[in-house]
Structure 1
């Protein structure tokens, strides 16, 4: 049997994801049908059992892998200390510690290399080519899983059926829908519950189609139509109940100081507004303040939800775009300014040095539009951003030198910073003097002379071209490979 669990990785699994996987896998679907057929609780209990089994196995496999990794890290730490001690003696020109041979250094390096290699291959490092066994006796392991499941009353992990929410939805239905549901429950109870609890759209369609096939000829077309609507209502109520309980919502509301926002969340959308209130109340308060500052009404729940969704999608796409661009630009050898989550902060997104020594200044425009006409960080704000980035890089070098007096900065980086500062001074002079009609060409030439490139990426967008005015300044769109798929424009 596996040892005591310390990490509990299974608790992080999302219940909806577990059930979606079960709906999508033929063998798991068969498991659910078999268990449901031999259980008084039917489909409900079989799904809870499957979720419990998956969480427990993830717990045990996680303990096996993470425990092995910790042991290796401890051995790596010992080896590093041993190697460091030997090197200290060698560098100081003193005799090696008693009992330590020169050959020991090579052996220690070889052991360190082996441990590092096995650390990157956790399964091979634990069992090699042998099967991954979680216990010496499979039967005893299975019995322990079932005992644990029964001890919990058949509830599993983070998921329990929101029976109250489903019952409330049933009671609120018109009488003819209730009648259709009761009739289906008498004839095909398992198939009906499978249709109500399906977690995915495709799973829902398949389950409803299966239910209607089983009921063929026993319900009238009108009853089937009302049954479909009733199943949809119950499924939606169940999903809402899984996402939010009364206790969780009450706790979230208690943390909201603004009475208008509290009222809006109380009657708001469970998928977005209430979830944000539970998981990130600080962000909710900030976004509410911005919404109101921009003229949003205190009672406009749908308007605030639309504002939240737009902000989340835009922000998420910006972060995804920056990181994807950074990891897709093989021409850049060294980043002076890498991607981060502060996509709303003004300035350049990325600054790097290419293999040819040119400095790249990049702005990611992961927009849905195919063309861009404005890149303020690389045009009207270019001088400010060049100076700010250069100053930040020099400050970072100064901090490193304070922390480590022996630190020597890479000459390429110092040269790149100097060229950025020189370009800022020259472009500032161009902006203040000379004909406006020749300004773009002069700025482009100044950048080229100092080996600076201005590039636009769209790693999570559709931008493929820029206007002639931007091209005149020396900007170009830099491809980043296959675009990251964008989220849908719609939403619940």
Structure 2
């Protein structure tokens, strides 16, 4: 019997994942060929049916897993309340509640441990070694799935193929490109569709190469050239249909004041440029202004997309690195300055007090390079950053005391601020006087005497070492555990 539909996990599945799986798996390709060969709607309907089946099965498997997890969490909550009640009674009265045996308390802990362990093994917790059955009668299950598909007109979930957008793009093509597409569709329909539907640049190149190989000289060089252009146009139209509706795009374009930016967005990439126009037009305008200020051409849509992607990856890696470092530095007991999303603002990234009372000044360098030779926040700008951070901390204390006259700051924090201010004054004196050759050693000693540590982290990068010049100043790389995987440098 099919479990009750409560969670609908399948609706979150990206259609691109289904299509990529269908293209890569020989059995799924055979399935689509078989369905396409026995129906009037061909491959488009076969793909929709496959997507519908996969979403349906994910819905049902998700209901099994999530329903089991919810039931298990409810049992865990009951066990925790039971154990907490017993322990509270013991702490208050010193003895177990009447009628509760020590063995029973132990059994409750054992049950809790078992439930927690099974929660992390969802499939074993549901069926053990038995096959995963979604229905008592497989034929009835398949019949109900097909009836649901037919009732929906063959539309697959939330992400049906944007056939209208692809057809409009085909009709807008010159006649010679349309002819090239028709010839390819007649000879190799599935290979042609894989080329149009590829979701990545690498996948597109491989699919087009496969298509040309399959055509095997049956198209002239001119026809192949027109076919490549047509495949690109159809792929762009399909992606735009999947990602951005024309109505929403029109609204986004209407909000853009700069006509040159509006033109770039209108003809631009649906994955970055148009998504940013839809969801954060203020950031789009700011990044466009920076791109132009740095010499970017007003008509260079691909160049602006590359600029956007680099900015997003760099910014995202910086935010991820700061937050990961903060949660990984177990030696820091109290943060005076925690992570935030303002990774482009100059200054230290983190300031904290360790278990031993030392003040940590941390700069995260989540770079792809394994070594860094410059950490300006902790070297050239160290005096200014120490004073700025110390002033910010004192201002925060003043605000707290103003809002709550009974507030008393932690003495450790006041001591840390004083040491930072004293270190700034001493390092400034060192920079003005004495031999430059001995300056790093004197700065390192001044920091150590005031129990200040300078540390570099790379929680979302590959930095593992720093130059000798930085080590001479007292800097060191602080490990943060396994590095967070970095996004790829190419593709989308």
After TM superposition, the score normalised by the length of structure 1 is: 0.80
Q: For 1:285, which of 282, 285, 302 is the aligned residue?
A: 282
- Encode CA deviations 1:308-364: one digit per residue, 9 max, x unaligned: 4343122112123335556777xx445644655453455543456779886643211
Judge which range, 182-191 or 201-210, deviates more.
201-210
Superposition map of 1:222-233 within 5 A:
222-233=222-233
Q: CA deviation at 1:368?
A: 5.3
Judge which range, 342-351 or 426-435, deviates more.
342-351
Superposition map of 1:32-431 within 5 A:
32-93=32-93, 97=97, 99-252=99-252, 256=255, 265-266=265-266, 268-278=268-278, 280-281=279-280, 284-289=281-286, 292=289, 300=298, 302=301, 305=305, 308-323=308-323, 325=325, 332-334=330-332, 336-337=334-335, 341-344=341-344, 347-350=347-350, 360-367=360-367, 371-376=372-377, 379-384=382-387, 387=390, 420-421=416-417, 423-431=419-427
Q: Matched residues in 2 for 1:19 and 1:42: separation? A: 16
Structure 2: state its 5+ residue gaps: 402-409
Q: Which residue does 2:16 correspond to in 1? A: 16
Query: Alpha carbons of 1:80 and 1:439: their partners in 2 closer, same or farther (altered >3 Å)?
Result: same
- Give SS of 1:154's match: coil
May I ask how many residue pairs the two structures share in their alignment?
473
- For the Cα contact (< 8 Å) 1:15–1:51, is it kept in 2? yes
- Give SS of 1:65's match: helix
Q: Matched residues in 2 for 1:456 and 1:140: separation? A: 62
Query: Alpha carbons of 1:468 and 1:213: their partners in 2 closer, same or farther (altered >3 Å)?
Result: closer
Q: Matched residues in 1 for 2:376 and 2:2: separation? A: 57
- For the Cα contact (< 8 Å) 1:35–1:46, is it kept in 2? yes
Q: CA deviation at 1:155?
A: 1.0
Q: Matched residues in 2 for 1:258 and 1:238: separation? A: 27
- Give SS of 1:361's match: strand
Judge which range, 54-63 or 438-447, deviates more.
438-447
Q: Matched residues in 2 for 1:418 and 1:109: separation? A: 44
- For the Cα contact (< 8 Å) 1:456–1:477, is it kept in 2? yes
Query: Alpha carbons of 1:45 and 1:459: their partners in 2 closer, same or farther (altered >3 Å)?
Result: same
Structure 1: state its 5+ residue gaps: 399-412
- For the Cα contact (< 8 Å) 1:348–1:385, is it kept in 2? no
- For the Cα contact (< 8 Å) 1:423–1:447, is it kept in 2? no
Q: CA deviation at 1:486?
A: 4.9
Over the aligned positions, Cα root-mean-square deviation in angstroms equals 4.1
Query: Alpha carbons of 1:384 and 1:113: their partners in 2 closer, same or farther (altered >3 Å)?
Result: farther
- Encode CA deviations 1:406-448: one digit per residue, 9 max, x unaligned: xxxxxxx986x57744531430330354526455433311333
- Encode CA deviations 1:430-482: one digit per residue, 9 max, x unaligned: 03545264554333113334554312233444656656654332113446688
Query: Alpha carbons of 1:355 and 1:96: their partners in 2 closer, same or farther (altered >3 Å)?
Result: closer
Query: Alpha carbons of 1:419 and 1:60: their partners in 2 closer, same or farther (altered >3 Å)?
Result: farther
- Give SS of 1:135's match: coil
- Encode CA deviations 1:269-293: one digit per residue, 9 max, x unaligned: 4222321233x33xx3245257559
Query: Alpha carbons of 1:116 and 1:419: their partners in 2 closer, same or farther (altered >3 Å)?
Result: farther
Q: Matched residues in 2 for 1:14 and 1:339: separation? A: 32
Q: Matched residues in 1 for 2:228 and 2:444: separation? A: 64
Q: Matched residues in 2 for 1:88 and 1:479: separation? A: 40
After TM superposition, the score normalised by the length of structure 2 is: 0.80
Q: Matched residues in 1 for 2:287 and 2:308: separation? A: 10
